[in-house]
A and B are shown apart, each in its own frame.
Chain A
Amino acid sequence: MISHIVTATIGAALALAATIGSAGAQQNFPTKPVQLMVAYPAGGSTDIGARIVAAIAEKSLGQPIVVVNKGGAGGQVGWTEFVRQRPDGYYIGFINLPATNTVILDPDRKAIFTEKDFTPIINQVLDPGVIWVRADSPYKTVHDLIDAAKKSPNTIRAATTGILSDDHLAILMTEEAAPGAVFRLVHLEGGAAQFKEIMAGNIDVAFDNVGSIMTRVKSGELRALAVMDDVRSKFLPDVATMKELGYPTVMSNSTRGIAGPKGMPEPIVSKLRDVLKKAMEDPEHVSKLENQGLAIKIMVGEEYARYFADTHAKAKKYTEWAKSRPQR
């Protein structure tokens, strides 16, 4: 009987010690450098944004934040690696919606992770989708474009920045909202390729995001026809939204935020969130990102989780359509 009590006491003491110990570990977090993963090669837009945030945040975090690039397969390689890491706060990474969603949803990709494998921490950027053409293009408004697409279906060459990218889904949303309009999809790799092919006349219209083209619209090389958000972009205040133009269902954007593997303890998530939020609100961060035309939209907690779920549901619908459309 006494041995039972002793065992129980020792057991309880150990459990208490473990809890205090891990709480202590959480209290002291971080005690070594934190790795911030970007699922794209160095130099891309997400990567640069990551390096800017890391450089500022590590000052208040007290430990270096090292940006780790794990590019490949549109992000799939990075996220696959990511979900296998320990949720102890020392390995966090960027998730890009809806890219992360489409990778999960595309059956051909055979992703080993699902939307439940992430702990969203904080969103950094929300870059609305935009439809644009060359400055001297015959299409002066979105209506011109859509009329042309209805008149000669499958002739107007519309470029995306990648298969199942947010732009790809956006084209499908447009076709859905304007029945009869069918575009000829051309999948290019990235905004720079779009710019080149548009200037060369190989493409008629491009679907991309405000950040990629903002500076060029200002310089007059391009014309933005519409922004696919519910409010006008502060970088392109003269460009109407699809909602204003009568297509309220065409809402597409690309977001970048930081998440951890699932199962991260709340105190650590909280600490990271505060540090990163402070860094993102820092004027230097804001100005550097705004120079690139990237709109900062900080989302945390419930709001971010809900946004993730919404984006996922929407992406599901259009991904399925994309897979069954004759010309993908």
Chain B
Amino acid sequence: MRRGRLVACVCLLGIFAAALVTSLDYSLMDALGPGPGFFPFWLSLLGATLTVAILVETARSHDIGTASILPSRQAAWQVGGVLIALAAAASLLEPLGFRLTMLLFIAGLLFALGARSPFAILLTALAGSFGVFHVFFYWLKVPLPIGALGL
């Protein structure tokens, strides 16, 4: 936890620094008052100061829980798997269309997470892809992507 905090603080500092520099490109003050760069500039400065304070406090303290925040190898695979599946689904949504993408997504993820009944998996996948599409597109008139294959 302590190490995690330290890493987070460093990341935050990086972000604040980047924001600070970028906001200098926008004018800080203009004829009427604060310009576009005004708030981001001062906020970044404030944020960086606060982060340094947290950094110092974390580095000096010894009583924050020492349990590792990093997941075990197997858990990491699970988390990573979900993220990869999500990313894949997002990028395939428009090319492949909602129905096909979600069918694969649901079935694949259910299986990867440990669901074992093929019938339940298939049913859920179909309901979640084709069924949901029908409800949203035809009944509610909410557009969902239709891909190259017409799905």
Contact = CB atoms under 8 A, between A and B. Distances in A.
Interface of A: 32, 35, 64, 66-68, 326-327
Contacts of B146: 32
A93 B137 CA distance: 19
A64 B31 contact: no
A35 B31 contact: no
B143 A327 contact: no
Contact of A66 (B31, B32, B141, B150): B141
B143 A35 contact: yes
Contacts of A32: 146, 150
Interface size class of B (residues with CB under 8 A): under 10
Contact of A327 (B31, B141, B150): B31
B143 to A, nearest CB: 5
Nearest to B36: A108
Interface of B: 31-32, 137, 141, 143, 146, 150
B36 to A, nearest CB: 10
Contacts of A35: 143
A326 B32 CA distance: 9
Contacts of A326: 31
A284 B141 CA distance: 21
Contacts of B141: 64, 66-67
Nearest to A185: B32
Contacts of B31: 326-327
B32 A68 contact: no
A277 B76 CA distance: 59
Contacts of B137: 66
Nearest to B141: A66
Query: Which of A32, A64, A66, A326 has most B Cβ within 10 Å?
Result: A66
A68 B146 CA distance: 14
Nearest to A68: B143
Nearest to B142: A66
A324 to B, nearest CB: 12
A64 B31 CA distance: 51
A326 B150 CA distance: 53
Nearest to B32: A327
A113 to B, nearest CB: 20
